[in-house]
């Protein structure tokens, strides 16, 4: 294998670690669960043990029913008033990043308000709520960056309901299911792209029982984002090539709400000229209309209008800019709002974002320098 080929392949090591959490899908039932019970909700009490988890407050074990559909094999946990579950796991690598994927739905009908779900770990804190019209399933997948830890560190992950100012009897409390943690090491630039993760291949793990993609909530820091190296503005969806049209590779970003998008930044040489190329398209999810996408690289901004028939088309674009500082921000924002015929919010897909200097790419400079030194050595 050529050295530059090896370098481009050995950029990132990430894998889904189903074994990190015990009973992550709650298929191991609690003790003293009544046999042949027709009630889909079972209240946990002081005489109950839930394998792998400790709990406080109002926590119910849930079995799937017509009124409460669930992913996977049909068991989950509902966090009621002051409800909390937690589990401590041991970090299994040195300085690895941890990303959590989970599903969220609600139990109850005719509720006046939905309670939130708080997810926390020693280095992270996030608040989530079920969002209507972001998918066709009765549940939604979310991702959350948990943190980075060293070998054998004990990590306590906590899920708890968020208090709401409403009558508890008219509140829909969150139901949590299908937890999966992905670990990965340090991500570095490739030999042909000044941006790390410009193809969005390095993000949360897709759940096998969900076809709606993964919603990513606002994450102002690219270091503490579930999409490695990119901060999240508003709400976007991480989509896979199995269920959506993805221009390149296995994953891409669909910007599903107006004034939302992604942003990254990279070190450049002030005064030098750079080229930014990227692919825009639609996810083949029936999202039709004119997408208006705002793209900004440094001080150069451009609005691009892309007509979508909702059938999975895509098109490459590029812009050239001169770096006016040593760190150049690159931003993609959706300036329009769209829904498909099922009323599901949708929008433009962004993929294959490549930043190179005016001579072509970072690797081109390296090759020319190598050739010059080789010729000098021969002479």
- What pLDDT is attached to residue 371? 37
Total number of domains in the chain: 2
Cα gap 111→124, rounded to integer Å: 30
One domain, residues 230 and 130 = no
One domain, residues 22 and 71 = yes
- What pLDDT is attached to residue 185? 87
Mean model confidence pLDDT for the chain: 87
Q: Which H, E and C letters describe the chain, residue by residue?
A: CCHHHHHHHCCCCEEEECCCCCCCCCCCCCCCCCCCCCCCEEECCCCCCECCEEEECCEEEEECCCCCCCCCCCEEEEECCCCEEEEEEECCCCCEEEEEEEEEEEECCCCCEECEEEEEECCEEEEECCCCCCCCCCCEEEEEEEEEECCCCEEEEEEEEECCCCCHHHEEEEEEEEEEEEEECCCCCECCECCCCCCCCCCCCCCCCCCCCEEECCECCCCCCCCCCCEEECCEEEEECCCCCCCCCCEEEECCCCCCEEEEEEECCCCCEEEEEEEEECCCCCCCEEEEEEEEECCEEEEEEEEECCCCCEEEEEEEEECCCCEEEEEEEECCCEECCCCCEECCEEEEEEEEECCCCHHHHHHHHHHHHHHHHHC
Task: Tell me the CA distances in angstroms from 369 to 188, 257, 364, 365, one per residue in order.
Answer: 21, 45, 9, 6
Phi first, then psi: give them for residue 188, nearest 5 degrees. -125, 170
- What pLDDT is attached to residue 17? 52
One domain, residues 230 and 94 = no
Q: Which of 3-7, 133-137, 329-333, 354-358 has the lowest mean pLDDT?
A: 3-7
Cα gap 220→242, rounded to integer Å: 29
> How many Cβ atoms sit within 10 Å of the Cβ of residue 147?
17
One domain, residues 50 and 156 = yes
- What pLDDT is attached to residue 310? 95
- Average pLDDT value for residue range 54-69: 90
One domain, residues 136 and 276 = no
One domain, residues 112 and 47 = yes
- What pLDDT is attached to residue 73? 73
Whether 39 is covered by a domain: the verdict is yes
Q: What is the pLDDT of residues 310-341, one digit of tens each?
A: 999 999 999 999 999 888 999 999 999 999 99
Whether 198 is covered by a domain: the verdict is no
Two tokens at 176? 């949590």
One domain, residues 162 and 243 = no
One domain, residues 26 and 143 = yes
Q: Which of 157, 40, 36, 55 is nearest to 105 (CA)?
A: 40
Whether 122 is covered by a domain: the verdict is yes
Distance of CA 114 to the CA centre of its chain: 22
Contact 285, 355 (CB under 8 A): no
- What pLDDT is attached to residue 165? 75
Contact 73, 179 (CB under 8 A): no
Contact 149, 91 (CB under 8 A): yes
Task: Tell me the CA distances in angstroms from 265 to 179, 197, 326, 375, one per residue in order.
Answer: 31, 12, 10, 36
- What pLDDT is attached to residue 1? 33
One domain, residues 90 and 180 = yes
Q: Which of 119, 93, 131 is nearest to 17 (CA)?
A: 93
- What pLDDT is attached to residue 92? 87
Domain that holds residue 282: 222-363
Residue 293 has pLDDT above 50, yes or no: yes
Per-residue pLDDT band for 159 (boundaries 50, 70, 90) equals: very high
One domain, residues 265 and 130 = no
One domain, residues 230 and 84 = no
CATH of the domain at 58: 2.60.120.260
One domain, residues 226 and 320 = yes
Task: Tell me the CA distances in angstroms from 312 to 6, 45, 245, one per residue in order.
Answer: 32, 50, 5
Residue 19 has pLDDT above 70, yes or no: no
Domain boundary among 135, 169, 184: 184
Per-residue pLDDT band for 181 (boundaries 50, 70, 90) equals: very high
Q: What is the pLDDT of residues 110-129, one digit of tens each?
A: 788 889 999 999 989 999 99
């Amino acid at each position: 294998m050529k050295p530059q080929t090896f370098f481009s392949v050995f950029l990132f090591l990430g894998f889904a670690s189903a074994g990190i959490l015990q009973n992550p899908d709650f298929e191991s039932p609690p003790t003293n669960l009544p046999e042949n019970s027709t009630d889909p909700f079972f209240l946990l009490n002081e005489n109950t043990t839930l394998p792998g988890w400790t709990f406080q407050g109002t926590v119910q074990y849930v079995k799937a029913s017509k009124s409460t559909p669930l992913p996977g094999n049909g068991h989950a946990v509902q966090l009621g008033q002051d409800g909390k579950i937690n589990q401590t796991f041991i970090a299994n690598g040195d300085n690895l990043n941890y990303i959590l994927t989970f599903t969220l739905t609600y139990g109850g009908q005719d509720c006046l308000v939905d309670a939130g779900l708080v997810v926390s770990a020693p280095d992270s804190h996030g608040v989530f709520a079920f969002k209507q019209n972001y998918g066709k399933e009765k549940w939604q997948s979310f991702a959350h960056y948990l943190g980075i830890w060293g070998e054998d560190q004990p990590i306590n992950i906590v899920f708890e309901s968020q208090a709401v100012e409403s009558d508890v009897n008219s509140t829909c409390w969150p139901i949590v299911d299908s937890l999966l943690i992905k670990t990965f090491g340090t991500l570095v630039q490739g030999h042909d792209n000044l941006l790390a993760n410009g193809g969005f291949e390095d993000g949360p793990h897709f759940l096998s029982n969900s076809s709606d993609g993964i919603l990513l909530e606002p994450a102002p820091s690219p270091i503490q984002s579930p999409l490695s190296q990119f901060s999240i503005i508003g709400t976007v969806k991480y989509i896979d090539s199995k269920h959506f049209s993805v221009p390149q590779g296995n994953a891409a970003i669909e910007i599903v709400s107006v004034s939302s998008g992604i942003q990254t930044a990279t070190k450049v040489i002030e005064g030098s000229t750079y080229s930014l190329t990227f692919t825009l398209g639609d996810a083949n999810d029936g999202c039709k209309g004119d997408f208006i996408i705002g793209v900004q690289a440094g001080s150069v901004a451009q609005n691009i209008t892309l007509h979508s028939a909702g059938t999975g088309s895509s098109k490459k674009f590029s812009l050239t800019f001169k770096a006016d500082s040593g760190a150049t921000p690159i931003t993609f924002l959706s300036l329009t709002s769209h829904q498909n015929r099922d009323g599901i919010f949708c929008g433009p897909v962004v993929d294959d974002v490549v930043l190179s200097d005016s001579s072509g790419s970072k690797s081109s400079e390296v090759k020319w320098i190598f050739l010059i030194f080789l010729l000098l050595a021969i002479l």
